Structure 1
Amino acid sequence: MEEDKINAQVIAVFPNKVKIVVDNLEDFKVAEESLRVGSYLKIEDNENALLIAVIENFQIVVGQEGKRDYIIEAFPLGILRDGKFERGGDALAIPPKEVKPATIEEIKKIYQDSVSLNESFCFAKLSSNKNVAVPINGNKFFNKHIAIVGSTGSGKSHTLTTIIQKAISEKSGSFSLNNSHVILFDIHSEYKSAFPEANFINTSNLVLPYWLLNSEELEEFFLDTEANDHNQRYIFKECVVEDRKSRFTGSAAEKNNIHYDSPLYFDINSVLQSAISKNTETIDTGEVYASGAKKGEAKTVQGSLYGKLTNFVNRLENKVNDSRLDFLLGERVKTITFEDTLKTLLGYNQDKPSNITVIDLSGVPFEVLSITVSLISRLIFEYGYFYKRLRASRNPDEQVNNDIPILLVYEEAHKYVPNSELMKYRSSKKSIERIAKEGRKYGVTLLLASQRPSEISETIFSQCNNFIAMRLTNPVDQGYVKKLLPDTLGSLVDQMTSFKQGEALIVGESIILPSIIQIDRCEKQPSSNDIPYWELWKEEWKQLDFDQLKIEWQK
């Protein structure tokens, strides 16, 4: 395109809008590119800064003499100055001197030059032009918390799958297994098909020892925390600590340091028997009955807790006898070690190490879902903390806190960390909020995926530095996400309601420009595809094996 054909002028610059007047749209266009809503413009100033803007709309203005001018309104994504990107358009020196459509090659170069090759991580293309790959900074993406939000059917599960599949497959050498470590909480049993080689854990092989629960988790699990019964709390704590000490084989000094939160084995059945004993305790007064039917028998009085622990005992008995809770209370938890528990969660199986651990929570009873997620999350956080301490003790000059960093992925995150103060969510909220606030420095980060972002704890969501916002149709969720995203995004955020499947707005420290992208298709898909109701209903009547269904139901 020749210089004399550039017939556009900037007539107004705002922080969130640039107005341009063009007298001949055909001359303004780049020959090989089409000009439309979503096309990119580049605007230069006298200080060699380059403003990149996206066309939002245009109008035709007819003058008194019938001359037509075109008014283009563009949203400023940011300014490139000396190779560095600044968000917003208000730093542009006035007056801007030149406006041109940006060619595809120029847009490609902006993205490619924004990140070095060894830090580049790519899982999407530019939505307006699928020939433009959109690389992001992999370090800044994974070492900060990530949020993926979108309504049902927007493509969240496929996006999550694509990101993880690409992360665990990329290598900096010729080895077979890279050093990525991902733990995925799968609440709907969707991801086994997407990660067939994963370390797959469900209630049939999950072993989470109850004795690894901390004091708050123990009380939430075993006690009626809403009853505010101090007797049951005191007795439970006393019995747990005493049983731990009785089984400890170390020195006397170490035994004295055992406390309620010590991650040491105790027998829940012994605690139950102690509670039953105190609930039925009678005390010999030292006297005997002198007459009557009880003549000669010892006189007794009821213990101070007689009959006061009945609800506690019943609750404890129900837990111990509930076969659904075998993964927490069964025989296997008595023999598994702390190290084996951690190895299983981190994918360090002797026969087959794995980059990704998929924890299928679909079989976990809802009343212990929070406890289960809390325990696993807390163990991984504490792994990061103590591993950092270990590395520092070996080398005080160590700069990398954790050379085996972990990504925790919470699918349907609003189920574990809702914006609610109910006691049943307290444990998981506390564990995950702690990771959100402190996990990064210990090499433990979060990826939260949710169709209801407005229902997620704001403490956790506000800590996310990278957002992938897909189609959102609920006005409450739209408003909540807009509040969390930078104000400078303008109408880009408004487009979320009309995104196609797999289309998303990506914003954050990891990407040079806020961009509307199309996520690449995943290699193997999760089993979250829509059921073709109408096609299935038109088929011949299918028989249902109720006997096998019952067996599966009652496993």
Structure 2
Amino acid sequence: MTNVGVIGRVTSVQSTTLRVSLDVGAKGFTKVGPDGLHTVGVVNSYITVPAGAHRVVAIVTGVYISRHWDKRDQKTLLSEDDQSAYELEASVVGRFEGDRFRSGLTGYPPLHAPVRAATVSEVRNIFLPQGVPSLKLGTSAVASEQDVFLDANLLLGHHCAVVGSTGSGKSCTVMSILDGLLDKSIPNGHIVIFDVNGEYAQSFSQGTARGSSTRTIVLGPKLGSSEGLFLPHWFMNNEETLSLFRASEGVQAPVLQRSIADARATSSTNQRDVIRLQIVEDTILAIEQLYLDKNGQEPAHQQLTSLHQIVSDQSQAIGPCQSQWQEMLTLVTTAIADAQISSAMWQRLTPGQKDILGQLFIALRNRVSEAFGALGMGSAEAAPDFDAPVYYSLQQLCDFFLPSRVKIEQANDSRIANYVATLQMRLSRLLADGRYDFMTRVERHSDPLGSYLKLLMGSDPTGGEDWPAADLYVKQSRRHEEGPSVTIFDLSLVASDVLEHVTSLLGRVLFDFAVRSSPRAAYPLLLVLEEAHRFIPARKDPNGSGIRSTAVFERIAKEGRKFGLSLLLASQRPSELSETVVAQCGTVIAHRLTHEADQNLLRHATALGSRALLDQLSGLAQQHALVTGVSTGVPAAVRIRDVADPPKSNDPDFISAWSDPGKLKDLPAHIDRIVEGWQGPRT
């Protein structure tokens, strides 16, 4: 191989780090090559070094000037430049096999191997994935004429994290990625955005190019069925329900589980059966307490007569436990005839009467147990799937089914009511908390789960006439024709302590849908999480908030790829994110980060060859980022491309607003509008 284009020689090889001594002709940091003038020794530029049958590619991470002293030159007057050695340090990022760039290292270059600056064509081959779908992210920070592309399938298949301090350009980077995807013909594309700051709706409004080329639905920011941002509580699985109600494992959790199973299994028409079965049990207890009473026959006669009337009435009602009621009627009728209990005052129950009543009560309790089983409420009966998203009323759970279950379980432990009292109080307070109304007070409607999944996936959810947000959907979808679906959840008005339950439930529903889909990944989906640290916090405190939400997204990060569910995270504090989620992101786009903890997390989560580059994070300019990971051939310093109609995340113009006297006059009316929307219309 000729020495044309050689800029130096390898002087040190340590793992993935090369040290290069630059030739004399390269000291001016330029070198004439066969295809023009090359810039030499510039951080973030690329060099190539022969290594066996391939050429190793490395990115320059540092340049140095060091003094050297040669005894042979003691009598010669040398300039400062002649006494200096010029060196550079580079991290190996891949190799060329012929003209094709591949990531990874198969061999190391020898000492004194010639080093060349990567040519324009080589740089182009590095940045443009060959034979795969790609999207343009921006241009190289070193060579502005060179576009930087990402492998779209690897980007989506291995998740992506966009991190950076406030104002560094994260939201625009997220939008540039989405634009790169929307540039392609993807009519079956599905994108869901969790927008906690209310930034993305304007980027997809109907007057924008994105709004006209996508099927976009914006849910929120107002909460409630009519605004589209509602989430039925009955979608929650067992773990989510126990977390929301903070039910303790010992007694509260089992009682709550069975109460919800009762509520799901029992229709409103069966509630009368439940109430009267409880009356039968209460009557048995009341008569048993009269056994030692001196005037026991009179009250016992009243109780039995009244019980006979209730059982007789219920035995005529058609229902799942009608046969048990008819058997109880026969038992009560026979016992009244045999016991001959009178209504006379001051007479005790005789031993014979007690014996007849005792046998009656044993038989009645057996029939009551069978009746509860027929209603799906029996303790020995298999309950419906606790995770099944089947409707039940939370108000009825609080007012009827939980107290009913407590009464049933008290037959085994009289202390149950005391154990469950705090749970009942929390449930009552939850129903009184208006912030949860968009979850706890969603009216029953046809096909709730199916219509909600259709909404998430960009299909028409209004098949049932009673779908709560039908008017909103019709209004927003009026101009929809074709293109990928984009569903934006504007969560800016969701309270922080409610946000965890909302995002974890939505994430889990999407994941369960992906897992149950067959064939696998037939409808892949990209889930964009803005300000992801707010609902995927690091698990620093086992009893802290966000644990349930973190668990959901950690599972998606680890398993979602094979089911076609991809994450695109954006966060200004990566150190507050779950380290598991960050580590699963195959592509990391890092803007300016000044906090050491944030930088250290990225160093642990990125490949060895990329860590030296991360030292630049604190000095990156706005709209510039370092890109590492599987979707790009090499780690690269990139200027992110400009986007039209960016998210509403620009810095406010304080001085301009403060200088406008008209705004001062409008301030009282502005406050009134805010207060009315905040606390509701004044009465």
Q: What is the TM-score with the length of structure 2 in the denominator?
A: 0.69
Give the Cα–Cα distance (whole angstroms) in 2 for the partners of residues 280 and 24 of structure 1. Answer: 89
- Give the secondary structure class of the aligned counterpart of 1:50: strand
Provide the residue aligned with 2:296 in structure 1: none
- Is the Cα contact below 8 Å between 2:137 and 2:641 reproduced in 1? yes
2:189 matched to 1:189? no
- 1:270 aligned residue (396, 420, 437): 396
Q: How many residues align?
A: 514
- Mapping of residues 27-42 of structure 1, within 5 Å: 28-30=31-33, 31-35=36-40, 37-38=42-43, 40-42=45-47
Give the Cα–Cα distance (whole angstroms) in 2 for the partners of residues 319 and 170 of structure 1. Answer: 46
Q: Structure 2 vs 1, CA of residues 333 and 206 (structure 1 numbering), >3 Å: closer, same or farther?
A: farther
- Mapping of residues 293-442 of structure 1, within 5 Å: 304-306=415-417, 309-333=420-444, 337-349=448-460, 352=477, 355-388=485-518, 391=519, 401-420=520-539, 421-442=542-563
Cα-Cα RMSD: 3.2
Give the Cα–Cα distance (whole angstroms) in 1 for the partners of residues 456 and 438 of structure 2. Answer: 14
Provide the residue aligned with 1:12 in structure 2: 12
- The CA deviation at 1:45 is 2.5
- Is the Cα contact below 8 Å between 1:188 and 1:360 reproduced in 2? yes
- Is the Cα contact below 8 Å between 1:168 and 1:355 reproduced in 2? no
Give the Cα–Cα distance (whole angstroms) in 1 for the partners of residues 679 and 499 of structure 2. Answer: 19
Provide the residue aligned with 1:142 in structure 2: 156
- Mapping of residues 37-76 of structure 1, within 5 Å: 37-38=42-43, 40-45=45-50, 47-55=52-60, 56-59=62-65, 61=67, 64=73, 65=76, 66=78, 67=82, 70-76=85-91
- The CA deviation at 1:154 is 1.2
Q: Structure 2 vs 1, CA of residues 417 and 269 (structure 1 numbering), >3 Å: closer, same or farther?
A: same
- Is the Cα contact below 8 Å between 2:7 and 2:114 reproduced in 1? no
- The CA deviation at 1:51 is 2.6
- 1:224 aligned residue (240, 246, 249): 246
- 2:177 aligned residue (160, 163, 166): 163
Structure with greater Cα Rg: 2
Q: Structure 2 vs 1, CA of residues 38 and 167 (structure 1 numbering), >3 Å: closer, same or farther?
A: same
2:109 matched to 1:93? yes
Q: Structure 2 vs 1, CA of residues 330 and 104 (structure 1 numbering), >3 Å: closer, same or farther?
A: same
- 1:79 aligned residue (95, 98, 104): 95
- Give the secondary structure class of the aligned counterpart of 1:262: coil
- Which one has the bigger strand percentage? 1
Residues 482-509 of structure 1: per-residue CA shift (max 9 Å, x gap):
1111122253111111111121111111
Give the Cα–Cα distance (whole angstroms) in 1 for the partners of residues 31 and 603 of structure 2. Answer: 34
- Give the secondary structure class of the aligned counterpart of 1:91: coil
- Is the Cα contact below 8 Å between 2:7 and 2:117 reproduced in 1? no
- The CA deviation at 1:385 is 0.9
Give the Cα–Cα distance (whole angstroms) in 2 for the partners of residues 410 and 319 of structure 1. Answer: 27
Give the Cα–Cα distance (whole angstroms) in 2 for the partners of residues 186 and 277 of structure 1. Answer: 39
- Which one has the bigger helix percentage? 2
- Is the Cα contact below 8 Å between 1:42 and 1:52 reproduced in 2? yes
- The CA deviation at 1:184 is 1.0
Give the residue type in structure 1 aligned to 2:395: N
Provide the residue aligned with 1:125 in structure 2: 139
Q: What is the TM-score with the length of structure 1 in the denominator?
A: 0.84
- The CA deviation at 1:470 is 1.4
- The CA deviation at 1:326 is 2.4
- Mapping of residues 377-526 of structure 1, within 5 Å: 377-388=507-518, 391=519, 401-420=520-539, 421-526=542-647
Give the Cα–Cα distance (whole angstroms) in 2 for the partners of residues 4 and 359 of structure 1. Answer: 58
Provide the residue aligned with 1:260 in structure 2: 386
Mean Cα deviation higher: 543-552 or 377-386: 543-552
Provide the residue aligned with 1:536 in structure 2: 657
Give the Cα–Cα distance (whole angstroms) in 1 for the partners of residues 135 and 448 of structure 2. Answer: 38
- Is the Cα contact below 8 Å between 2:165 and 2:592 reproduced in 1? yes
Provide the residue aligned with 2:359 in structure 1: none
- Is the Cα contact below 8 Å between 2:265 and 2:384 reproduced in 1? yes
Q: Structure 2 vs 1, CA of residues 282 and 413 (structure 1 numbering), >3 Å: closer, same or farther?
A: closer
Q: Structure 2 vs 1, CA of residues 42 and 233 (structure 1 numbering), >3 Å: closer, same or farther?
A: closer
Give the Cα–Cα distance (whole angstroms) in 2 for the partners of residues 4 and 239 of structure 1. Answer: 81
- Give the secondary structure class of the aligned counterpart of 1:131: coil
Mark the runs of 5 or more structure 1 residues left unpaired by the alignment: 172-176, 284-301, 392-400
Q: Structure 2 vs 1, CA of residues 277 and 13 (structure 1 numbering), >3 Å: closer, same or farther?
A: closer
Give the Cα–Cα distance (whole angstroms) in 1 for the partners of residues 524 and 590 of structure 2. Answer: 25
Provide the residue aligned with 1:288 in structure 2: none
- Is the Cα contact below 8 Å between 1:29 and 1:101 reproduced in 2? no
- Is the Cα contact below 8 Å between 2:13 and 2:111 reproduced in 1? no
- 1:200 aligned residue (191, 195, 218): 218
Give the Cα–Cα distance (whole angstroms) in 1 for the partners of residues 37 and 111 of structure 2. Answer: 29
Give the residue type in structure 1 aligned to 2:537: P
- The CA deviation at 1:238 is 1.9
Give the Cα–Cα distance (whole angstroms) in 2 for the partners of residues 415 and 240 of structure 1. Answer: 30
- The CA deviation at 1:551 is 0.9
- 2:258 aligned residue (238, 243, 251): 238
Residues 417-462 of structure 1: per-residue CA shift (max 9 Å, x gap):
1113235323211211111121111111211211111111122222
- Is the Cα contact below 8 Å between 2:189 and 2:485 reproduced in 1? yes
Q: Structure 2 vs 1, CA of residues 377 and 281 (structure 1 numbering), >3 Å: closer, same or farther?
A: closer
Q: Structure 2 vs 1, CA of residues 99 and 539 (structure 1 numbering), >3 Å: closer, same or farther?
A: same
Mean Cα deviation higher: 188-197 or 230-239: 230-239
Q: Structure 2 vs 1, CA of residues 319 and 6 (structure 1 numbering), >3 Å: closer, same or farther?
A: closer
Give the Cα–Cα distance (whole angstroms) in 1 for the partners of residues 87 and 492 of structure 2. Answer: 52
2:553 matched to 1:553? no
Give the Cα–Cα distance (whole angstroms) in 1 for the partners of residues 10 and 415 of structure 2. Answer: 85
Give the Cα–Cα distance (whole angstroms) in 2 for the partners of residues 462 and 254 of structure 1. Answer: 49
Q: Structure 2 vs 1, CA of residues 321 and 254 (structure 1 numbering), >3 Å: closer, same or farther?
A: closer
Give the Cα–Cα distance (whole angstroms) in 1 for the partners of residues 390 and 417 of structure 2. Answer: 30
Give the residue type in structure 2 aligned to 1:234: P
Give the Cα–Cα distance (whole angstroms) in 2 for the partners of residues 150 and 58 of structure 1. Answer: 29
Give the Cα–Cα distance (whole angstroms) in 2 for the partners of residues 5 and 237 of structure 1. Answer: 74
- Is the Cα contact below 8 Å between 2:20 and 2:115 reproduced in 1? no
Mean Cα deviation higher: 32-41 or 461-470: 32-41
Mean Cα deviation higher: 433-442 or 534-543: 534-543
Give the Cα–Cα distance (whole angstroms) in 1 for the partners of residues 158 and 46 of structure 2. Answer: 31
Aligned sequence identity (%): 25
- The CA deviation at 1:241 is 0.6
Runs of at least 4 residues of structure 1 off by over 6 A? 251-255, 279-283
Mark the runs of 5 or more structure 2 residues left unpaired by the alignment: 206-210, 270-319, 321-372, 377-381, 462-473
Q: Structure 2 vs 1, CA of residues 224 and 51 (structure 1 numbering), >3 Å: closer, same or farther?
A: closer
